Amino acid sequence: MVLYKGPRLLDLAKTPEHLQFNKYVLTGYRPVSTAQECLRSLFYMHNELGNIYTHGALPIIHITLLCYPAVRTIALLAYILLSAYGIYSATTARTNVLRLRAFAWQALFRFSLFLFRVYGSGVGSPDSLRLFVIMDSLAVLGGVVNIIQIPERFSPGLFDNWGNSHQIMHVMVICAIIYLHWGTLEDLAWIKSYQCPTE
């Protein structure tokens, strides 16, 4: 994807320290850029292009899912707010471990909802719980892949532009959000037909 001839890209050693997130991604770093140069970077190849486009996919998915009237639930809104907090915290963290820790509140929120469902304090479709387990499994697996930096750890430089752990994590998070959507739809359909017990 080369629609614009970008600046000369840097290798890891010449990249500012605060931009060196992955020691196995060796080339293709953008130089420090102005806002206009950052916008232009959407149209030439560099090692963050896949990350930029997968970051852009997440808000589009969130907005699309919120447009469905049946999905405007308080739980989904809380999840999105916690996701936004996690993304903000992760972008300001200096290490992979701190980035992962930034999502702790979101994980605690999801785990507490899971416990409510399992132990009977919360209710929902029996079929949706497996969708939420798949969602969390994908999110955790994506975080682990990003922290241990696979596959680029095994072939430094080979995955500089495409297929590195950060991009894999983004795709897994997108898949997790789709499972969240399916689980929420399953719960909402169940709620429509649920009859409260009379005592």
CB 164 within 8 A of CB 29: no
The identity of residue 70, as a single letter, is A
Residue 46 annotated as lining a ligand binding site? no
183: left (phi over 0), alpha (psi -120 to 50) or beta: alpha
Bridge partners (DSSP) listed for residue 10: 29
Residue 170 annotated as lining a ligand binding site? yes
Residues 70 and 66: their CA atoms lie apart, in Å, by 9
Instruction: Report the 10 Å Cβ neighbour count for 30.
Output: 20
3-class state of residue 29 by DSSP: strand
CB 76 within 8 A of CB 65: yes
Q: Which residues are annotated binding-site positions for Zn(2+)?
A: 166, 170
